[in-house]
Amino acid sequence: MAIQNHTLVTEFILLGIPNTEGQETLLFAVFLIFYLCTLLGNLLILLAVTSSSRLHTPMYFFLCNLSVLDIGFSSVSTPKLLAILLVRNRVISLGGCMAQVFFYHFLGSTECLLYTVMAYDRFAAICHPLRYTIIMNRRVCALLAAGTWFTSSFHATILTSLTFQLPYCGSNEVDYFFCDIFPVVKLACGDTFIIETVSFTNIGVVPMTCFLLILASYVRIVIAIVKMNSAEGRRKAASTCVSHLTVVTLFFGPCALVYTQPSLSEVLVTPVQLFGNVVTPMLNPTIYTLRNKDVKGALKKLVGGQVTSGDGH
């Protein structure tokens, strides 16, 4: 059966965060601070890594990719949310809504795959230290990074196309603070079975596969750490994994709650989604910086700290 474009709706109205009447100014200030901290923190990490030759390693290359993703991911919904809170501008064009759906799933899927690649990098470094530079050479790192971006763009294109091939000819009020597949599809006039099935399967399969691969990597890593003779070696190996494990937990926690519990009450879904969209991208650079002497050293040098003679130049 040929799919026809019956879309009559040319714009949507985002209803925003429920039950926040009278708190808009406070929420605007809080989310603006979070967003600015996200931009500043991730830009500082990008500058620190690119400016220090000591940080030109696979781990920091992937960390730079993560910083780019965090800037993009937080920018998908936060600027529009700020506009809703400040000037009550709830209207979003059809194109803007499509862009939010596409970039949300494109960047979210890329981040999910990137965490898996970063887990593999830690596995290679700890379980195969003598062959690490051969396993994770520049070409392999570039291919892994490019693969995550390309695969996710394909994934997001399918989801977005299926979502907006549906006819929208009734209500245009999206009961959410940004355009995501499930709140938008509720407004469709046609049969939504295919998009709901495909999106739920895809959104569920990608994170679950990534989570299982990360889990498998860390099982091998833990075994390798336990077998180490040196207590200092065990401590250093574990330390390099703590930051990654923390951000993985922050990423997969909200994903699991939102997408595996579709019947979850709105009271919990919105705060969980806000945490994933606004707070997590801000925390990632902090988590990596606080536990990492090399990044802290590069940041101090970047902001005008004392350059020591033993910096490797």
φ and ψ at residue 305, rounded to 5 degrees:
-70, 170
H or E segment and range at residue 93: strand 91-93
Which pLDDT score, from 0 to 100, does residue 305 have? 56
Q: If DSSP codes are grouped into helix, strand and coil, which group holds residue 12?
A: strand
Residue 270: predicted pLDDT: 80
**CA angle (170, 171, 173) in 5-degree steps:** 155
CA distance 68 to 46: 8
Q: Which two tokens stand for residue 29?
A: 């200030």
pTM of the model: 0.88
Q: How far apart are CA 61 and CA 138, in angstroms?
A: 10
CA distance 258 to 270: 9
Where along the chain do its domains lie? 11-295
pLDDT score of 309 = 37
Give the chain's residues under pLDDT 70: 1-7, 255, 257-267, 291, 305-313
Region of residue 188 (left: phi > 0; alpha: psi -120 to 50; beta: else)? beta
- pLDDT tens by residue, 44-68: 899 988 888 888 899 999 999 999 9
Rounded Cα distance between 227 and 221, Å, is 10
CATH number of 11-295: 1.20.1070.10
Say what the pLDDT of residue 288 is. 81
